[in-house]
């Protein structure tokens, strides 16, 4: 009887250990992303936005415009809204040079935690509105939470 019980316990432990995929976790899952380049915040947006997630071209175009420039890297990053969505951190307009740099994106259950670094530079003779635009595959869809880190 003890042997049957020990065999049953060993089988349960063996099955439970093999059922979890190696490297996969519902918590702190790394999420790949691309940074969108050559876009600007339109002049009709004068403060940080309420919803930082854009799931279609129409909503994205209401906030952002294309900033095409000369040269190899002058074309705005293409976004395929049928397969991807966009999240954006937009800061208030400033006369200082401000850069927003992504650090990481992790998915915990249904929340995308996006860590970024804010780098404040020298004063400018004009006002600009800094933004960080990230493109993410729809399979990682979830609620968005931006976290500024030092």
- For the stretch 113-123, pLDDT in tens is 999 999 999 99
pLDDT at 107: 95
How confident is residue 126, by pLDDT bands cut at 50, 70 and 90? very high
pLDDT at 7 over 80: no
What count of other Cβ atoms lies within 10 Å of the Cβ of residue 29? Answer: 15
How confident is residue 46, by pLDDT bands cut at 50, 70 and 90? low
Q: How far is CA 58 from CA 35, 65, 104, 113, in A?
A: 19, 11, 27, 25
Q: Is 140 exposed, middle or buried (0-12, 13-18, 19+ CB in 10 A)?
A: middle
What count of other Cβ atoms lies within 10 Å of the Cβ of residue 77? Answer: 15
**From CA 143, how far away is CA 30, in angstroms rounded?**
15
């Amino acid at each position: 009887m003890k042997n049957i019980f020990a065999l049953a316990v060993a089988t349960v432990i063996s099955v439970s250990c093999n059922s979890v995929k190696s490297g996969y976790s519902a918590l702190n899952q790394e999420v790949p992303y691309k940074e969108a380049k050559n876009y600007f915040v339109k002049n009709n947006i004068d403060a940080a936005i309420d919803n930082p997630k854009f799931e279609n071209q129409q909503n994205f175009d209401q906030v952002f415009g294309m900033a095409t420039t000369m040269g190899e890297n002058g074309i705005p990053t293409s976004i395929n809204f049928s397969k991807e969505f966009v999240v954006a951190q937009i800061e208030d307009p400033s006369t200082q040079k401000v850069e927003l740099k992504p650090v990481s994106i992790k998915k915990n259950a249904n929340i995308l935690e996006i860590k970024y670094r804010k780098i404040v530079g020298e004063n400018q003779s004009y006002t600009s509105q800094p933004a960080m635009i990230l493109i993410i595959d729809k399979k990682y869809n979830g609620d968005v939470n931006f976290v500024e880190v030092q």
